Homo-oligomer: A and B are copies of this chain.
């Protein structure tokens, strides 16, 4: 596990230069629930670093993602916007409520099983999976009785 490394050391271990912008991004992602898009990260970052630029956010999200420190996700059906979370958390999947926008994280061994089934049946080498669910959360499901 590399989870205990400091942001600096994680960058170093990944062979990436340590910049204040990258450390800030990692800190913001760590402090949040991890479901932030570039724009939100930009606004949050500006609080501490007013001169930071949106392109810097985008560029570093890509760097951090390729370095394996950050994971890029899509939520719900609209994939026109990318979201990011730290890659340090355990493998999990996301359900998004289309009504209230709440994101419910869950784990399941079934996706891993889909992967191995796919690998066995079709002899493919899976490198990446994009998986997300949407629907209504308990709070937004219309109840028959009060």
Contacts and interface: CB of A to CB of B under 8 A. Distances in A.
A24 interface: no
B122 A138 contact: yes
B133 A129 contact: yes
Q: How many copies does the complex hold?
A: 2
Nearest to A119: B135
Interface of A: 74, 76-77, 79, 93, 95, 97-98, 104, 106, 108, 110-111, 113-115, 117-118, 121-138, 141
B95 A130 contact: no
Interface of chain A, helix or strand or loop or mixed? mixed
Contacts of A97: 124
B127 A130 contact: no
Nearest to A131: B131
B108 A133 contact: no
Nearest to A129: B133
A134 B126 contact: yes
A104 to B, nearest CB: 6
A83 to B, nearest CB: 12
Given A104-B124, A110-B110, A125-B136, 13 more contacts: A74-B130, A77-B130, A95-B126, A104-B122, A106-B122, A110-B114, A122-B138, A123-B138, A124-B135, A129-B133, A130-B131, A130-B132, A130-B134
Contact of A126 (B111, B118, B127, B135): B135
